[in-house]
Amino acid sequence: MPRPFSKKDVETFFARLKAHTPEPRTELDYSNPYTLLVAVVLSAQATDKGVNKATASLFKIADTPEKMVKLGETKLTQYIKTIGLYRNKAKNVIALSKALVEQHDGQVPRDREALEALPGVGRKTANVVLNVAFGEPTIAVDTHIFRVANRTGLAPGKTPLDVELKLMKVVPDAYKLHAHHWLILHGRYTCIARKPLCPVCVVRDLCRYKDKTKELVTAAPRKRIRKRPSGAKASLGGR
């Protein structure tokens, strides 16, 4: 078993992530709590870039629950058909929009239980909305954060909930508000799944991962081209 992180280790870990990215933000485009909620629902098993591309046009005409319900499921699918599982997501977006109108006066609730009661909204989505839209110190554990927490030894756990609860326990209060974003960005761009970029990792010396990569993968060196004798013509069929 790798040596657990000490309080000093955890403090140093997040201090470095903060120094590297002082003001982390979600990479999903949104204009209000509702569009954030919809974007997060659409982002399941999809990239933020792909979601942003689809919602750029969608949110111009449907940025409130009322407008989304009026748009309807059939038309909504045309906007999000480039996103994975778009048919099921369209059903959920329309259903949650109706629920917001009928049960919450068209407003996104600042309450975990109420959020998780909405169609297509689970704990991770609720945590993102509470954190980003309302400034709550929640930590939404996705595949990136689950990997980072386990690989580094920061907060190992068998399930996302295990990892979330451990992170909430070990992360200092001063870092909890942005911990979610620091960890997800670290997992997305440095501690990547197949071959982590350990040589450029700002927390490499704190990480408990035993199989750290020793060098970055670089492009294959170009073959040296022999100089031709003066006056020689270039061949059009070079090897």
Residue 179 CB neighbours (<10 A): 24
User: Looking at residues 202-208, what average pLDDT do you find?
Assistant: 97
Residue 17: pLDDT band (50, 70, 90) is very high
Token pair belonging to 115: 């959020």
For the entire predicted model, the pTM comes to: 0.85
**What is the b/e burial string over 75-99, where b = at least 16 CB atoms within 10 angstroms of the residue's CB?**
ebbebbeebeebeebbebbbebbbb
- From 20-34, 98-112, 202-216, the region with the lowest mean pLDDT: 202-216
User: How high is the pLDDT of residue 216?
Assistant: 62
The answer on pLDDT for 121 being more than 70 is yes
Residue 214: pLDDT band (50, 70, 90) is confident
Residue 230: pLDDT band (50, 70, 90) is very low
Residue 25: pLDDT band (50, 70, 90) is very high
CA separation for the pair 233, 235 (Å, rounded): 6
User: Looking at residues 4-27, what average pLDDT do you find?
Assistant: 96
Q: Does residue 18 carry a catalytic annotation?
A: no
Q: 45 or 196: which carries more pLDDT confidence?
A: 196
**Apex CA 63: angle with CA 180 and CA 103, to 5°?**
85
The answer on pLDDT for 26 being more than 60 is yes
Which amino acid belongs to residue 43? S
User: Looking at residues 160-179, what average pLDDT do you find?
Assistant: 98
Q: Does residue 124 carry a catalytic annotation?
A: yes
What would the pLDDT profile of 67-99 be if each residue is shown by its tens digit?
999 999 999 999 999 998 999 999 999 999 999
The answer on pLDDT for 158 being more than 70 is yes
- From 20-34, 63-77, 90-104, 210-224, the region with the lowest mean pLDDT: 210-224
- From 145-154, 187-196, 217-226, the region with the lowest mean pLDDT: 217-226
The residue annotated as part of the active site, out of 70, 105, 124, 169, is 124
The residue annotated as part of the active site, out of 70, 81, 105, 142, is 142
